[in-house]
Amino acid sequence: MSIVPDVKNWTWVLERSCPECGFDPESIVYAAVPALAREYAGRLSATLGRPDATARPDDSTWSVLEYAAHVRDVCRIFTYRAAIAARTEAVDPKVPGFDAKGSESADGVPVFSNWDQDVTATVDRYEKQDPRTVAGELTDAAEAVARAFASIPEAALGNRARRSDGSVFTVESLAAYFLHDLIHHVHDVRG
């Protein structure tokens, strides 16, 4: 059964707290993002050991396995996007449904490639993946994104990049936006 796509624009979490997961953008210190990424990915990875990790709680909610596979790919995409925003070498994350052909706007600001997370979930068959494999891949992807954010020099934290919908991020706000996604999904699975 397919899940109804989430088409919300979540950029509001950069301006106010998330009432669902408690994420508070004002409390995020950029230097803490790498450690928090590792911590929350570890918590999510641990939920993959649950006996019901592959079962959907209802027809409209992903299983723990599907959330973990999604967060693994979020980490991969944001490793790439952090490099784009910081103007360093970006390596195509090879995520199904993601086109790594970003562009540059007329004002010289990089524009992120679009990612349809629902296409990725379907094409990559998240629900059929092995929980142990996903746990290892999630750990690796979280480590890569943590290293990516940690390696960006302070002078580049204000570098801007834009999504194709016009939303503008600095490296710093991109890190917070990423972190909300991770924290929110740990909350979703009660990790």
Instruction: Give 113 or 2, the one with higher predicted confidence.
Output: 113
pTM: 0.92
Percent of the chain with pLDDT over 70: 95
User: Is 19 part of a structural domain of the chain?
Assistant: no
Residue 94 has pLDDT above 70, yes or no: yes
Flag whether 24 is in a domain.
no
User: Does 22 fall in a domain?
Assistant: no
Concatenated DSSP letters of 51-109 = TTTTS-SSTTS--HHHHHHHHHHHHHHHHHHHHHHHTS-------TTB----EE-TTS-
The pLDDT value recorded for residue 105 is 67
pLDDT tens, position by position, 13-48: 999 999 999 999 999 999 999 999 999 999 999 999
Task: Assess if residue 10 is contained within a domain.
Answer: no
* 66 located within any domain: yes
Q: What is the CATH number of the domain that holds 84?
A: 1.20.120.450
User: What was the pLDDT predicted at 109?
Assistant: 87
Query: Using one digit for the tens of pLDDT, what is the confidence trace for 102-140?
Result: 666 667 789 888 888 888 999 999 999 999 999 999 999
Residue 1 has pLDDT above 60, yes or no: no
Is 113 inside any structural domain? yes
Per the domain annotation, does 6 fall within a domain? no
Residue 16 counted as domain residue? no
Domain count, the chain: 1
